[in-house]
Chain A
Amino acid sequence: MNRRFAWFSACVCFLGTVSLIQLTQAQAVRDYISIVGSSTVYPFSTVVAERFGRTTAFKTPKIESTGSGGGFKLFCSGVGVQSPDITNSSRRVSQSEIDECARNGVREVVEVKIGYDGIVLANVKGAPSYELTREHIFLALAKNVPDSGGNSLVPNPYRSWAEIDPALPDMSIEVLGPPPTSGTRDAFVELVMEVGCEAFPAIESLADDARTAACHTLREDGAFIEAGENDNLIVQKLEANPTALGIFGYSFLDQNQDKVQGSFIDGVAPLFESIADGSYPVSRPLYSYVKTTHVGEIPGIEEFLAELTSDAAWGDFGYLTDRGLIPLPESERQMVLNAVQGLENVNLAQ
Chain B
Amino acid sequence: MSNRRQSVRDRVALGIARRYRRERNFRLLGLAAVLVGLSFLAFFFLTLIGNGYTAFLQTHIRLDVELSASLIDPDGELDPQTIGRANYQGLIQNALRARFPEVASRNELRELFALVSPGAAFELRDSVLGNPDLIGETMDLWLVADDDVDMLIKGHIDRSAEESQRRISDPQLAWIEALEADGRIERQFNHRFFTAGDSRDPEMSGIRSAITGSFLMLLVTLALSFPLGVATAIYLEEFAPKNRWTDLIEVNINNLAAVPSIVFGLLGLALFINLFGLPRSAPLVGGLVLTLMTLPVVIIAGRAALMSVPPSIREAALGVGASKMQMILHHVMPLALPGMLTGTIIGMARALGESAPLLMIGMVAFIVDVPESPLDPATALPVQVYLWADSPERAFVERTSAAILVLLAFLLAMNAAAILLRKRFERNW
Direct contact of A and B (CB under 8 A): yes
A281 an interface residue at 8 Å Cβ cutoff?
no
B134 an interface residue at 8 Å Cβ cutoff?
no
- Report A-chain residues with C-beta under 8 Å of the C-beta of B277: 26, 28, 82
- Report B-chain residues with C-beta under 8 Å of the C-beta of A229: 390
B161 an interface residue at 8 Å Cβ cutoff?
yes
Contact of A47 among B158, B200, B284 (CB under 8 A): B200
The smallest beta-carbon distance between A308 and chain B, in angstroms, is 14
The smallest beta-carbon distance between A270 and chain B, in angstroms, is 13
> Among A58-66, A90-98, A182-190, A293-301, which stretch is in contact with chain B?
A58-66
Pair A232/B365 contact, Cβ less than 8 Å: no
Contact of B362 among A39, A50, A64, A324 (CB under 8 A): A64
B19 an interface residue at 8 Å Cβ cutoff?
no
Pair A231/B392 contact, Cβ less than 8 Å: yes
Contact of A63 among B288, B329, B365 (CB under 8 A): B365
Look across to chain A and name the residue whose beta carbon is closest to the beta carbon of B230. Answer: A9
Pair B165/A257 contact, Cβ less than 8 Å: yes
Pair B224/A62 contact, Cβ less than 8 Å: no
- Report B-chain residues with C-beta under 8 Å of the C-beta of A65: 364-366, 387
The smallest beta-carbon distance between A306 and chain B, in angstroms, is 16
What is the CA–CA distance of A46 and B366 in the complex, to the nearest angstrom? 7
B281 an interface residue at 8 Å Cβ cutoff?
yes
A205 an interface residue at 8 Å Cβ cutoff?
no
Interface residues of B in 364-396 (CB under 8 A from A): 364-369, 374-375, 377, 387, 389-394
- Report B-chain residues with C-beta under 8 Å of the C-beta of A32: 369, 377
What is the CA–CA distance of A258 and B369 in the complex, to the nearest angstrom? 34
> Among A15-23, A135-143, A284-292, which stretch is in contact with chain B?
A15-23
> Among A147-155, A194-202, A206-214, A248-256, which stretch is in contact with chain B?
A248-256
- Report A-chain residues with C-beta under 8 Å of the C-beta of B99: none
Pair B390/A39 contact, Cβ less than 8 Å: yes
What is the CA–CA distance of A256 and B329 in the complex, to the nearest angstrom? 61
Interface residues of B in 192-229 (CB under 8 A from A): 199-201, 220, 222-224, 226-228
Contact of A2 among B118, B200, B288, B334 (CB under 8 A): B334
The smallest beta-carbon distance between B327 and chain A, in angstroms, is 11
The smallest beta-carbon distance between B114 and chain A, in angstroms, is 8
What is the CA–CA distance of A62 and B371 in the complex, to the nearest angstrom? 12
- Report A-chain residues with C-beta under 8 Å of the C-beta of B390: 39, 229-232
B278 an interface residue at 8 Å Cβ cutoff?
yes
Number of interface residues of B (CB under 8 A): 54
A7 an interface residue at 8 Å Cβ cutoff?
no
Pair A42/B366 contact, Cβ less than 8 Å: yes
Pair A54/B122 contact, Cβ less than 8 Å: yes
The smallest beta-carbon distance between B258 and chain A, in angstroms, is 24
What is the CA–CA distance of A32 and B391 in the complex, to the nearest angstrom? 24
Q: Which of B164, B334, B377 has the most CB of A within 10 A?
A: B377
Pair A23/B366 contact, Cβ less than 8 Å: no
The smallest beta-carbon distance between A258 and chain B, in angstroms, is 5
B112 an interface residue at 8 Å Cβ cutoff?
no
Which B residues are closer than 8 A to A by beta carbons? 110, 118, 122, 157-158, 161, 164-167, 199-201, 220, 222-224, 226-228, 230, 276-282, 284, 287-288, 329-330, 333-334, 337, 362, 364-369, 374-375, 377, 387, 389-394, 425
Given A2-B330, A2-B334, 18 additional A-B pairs, CB 8 A: A5-B334, A12-B223, A12-B226, A15-B223, A18-B223, A26-B375, A49-B366, A49-B368, A50-B368, A53-B368, A62-B365, A63-B366, A64-B281, A64-B364, A249-B392, A258-B161, A319-B118, A324-B392
Q: In the A-B complex, list the 8 residue pairs whose CB atoms are closest, starting with the nearest.
A: A15-B223, A60-B368, A63-B366, A255-B392, A64-B365, A62-B377, A46-B366, A2-B330
